[in-house]
Amino acid sequence: MPELPEVETVVRGLRKTVLDKTIAKVIVDAPVKSIVVSESFKSKSFEAILKNKTIKQINRRGKNILIELSGDLTLWVHLKMTGHFYYKDVSTEKEKHDLITFQFKKPDSNFKLIFNDYRRFGRNRLYYSNEVMEQKGLKELGPEPLEISSDDFVTIVQSKNRMIKPALLDQSLIAGIGNIYADEALYASRIHPKRLFSSLSKKKLVELHEHIQRILSMAIDNMGSSVDTYTGVNGETGKFQNYLKAYGNEGGACERCNKIIVREKIGSRSAHYCPKCQKI
């Protein structure tokens, strides 16, 4: 699943391509579950509501994309596992997994925005802007990892008697961190993923906070990690996978001590770590 750096890259790509454009037409070829329309619209269709709406702002909250439209509307998108936005010439042929096509009014009618998702787990939800942040999936999100101070981070996590790796993946604790960047931050901090937050000193937690922010920022600068199907709006892959030290490197040598990186299931997710540098 795309994590904070990948979603941030998509958001920046959307700002460069579709900001201030007005939607002329929306074509939907998606499963019913892929699209949610607020009951406030009284049975009006997704396509009808979006027609003639102008894209005003595009933001990110955790792993969620929030597209603010004229008429006080917000299109809330979660890419899930394989969702993509692509900005293409209007003449390009529809592909098998193109689920939603946004066409624009002149002078932007030569291009279209495609939501493509071959596993069809992605979600496009349409709400009035004053109700979207009260929806399940948004209202319970924790603070942004790039915005939270080290003191606030320590205060939040130090009281948790939980294993660190599963806790970092808990979006109600910190929003946006996923498997890749949790593994990388713990490796950089030399913290075993099974350690309890409550077992770590404030100094060690401050160090972890610094590594989380450094690694996420570096990943954004490199357009995210393309370890599966992820690409940006322009179809380009990310480059941060070239800098990964732990995630996906099971069986390889730790660059610090040459011990073999292991992969272990912790909770419901796998963790990659060095058993020598990251002692439990």
* Spatial strand order in the sheet of 123-128: 35-37, 123-128, 73-78, 64-69, 55-61
2 is catalytic: yes
Q: How many residues does the chain have?
A: 280
Q: What is the CA radius of gyration of the chain?
A: 20
CB atoms within 10 A of CB 97: 17
Active-site position among 61, 120, 269, 275: 269
Q: How far apart are CA 102 and CA 67, in angstroms?
A: 13
The CA-atom distances, in angstroms, between 209 and each of 177, 185, 202 are 12, 8, 10
Q: Which of 2, 5, 145, 193 is catalytic?
A: 2
Q: Which of 60, 63, 112, 125 is catalytic?
A: 63
Number of H helices and number of E strands within the chain? 7, 11
Annotation says 269 is catalytic: yes
Short-list 124, 109, 125, CA closest to 25 = 109
Q: Which residues are catalytic?
A: 2-3, 63, 269
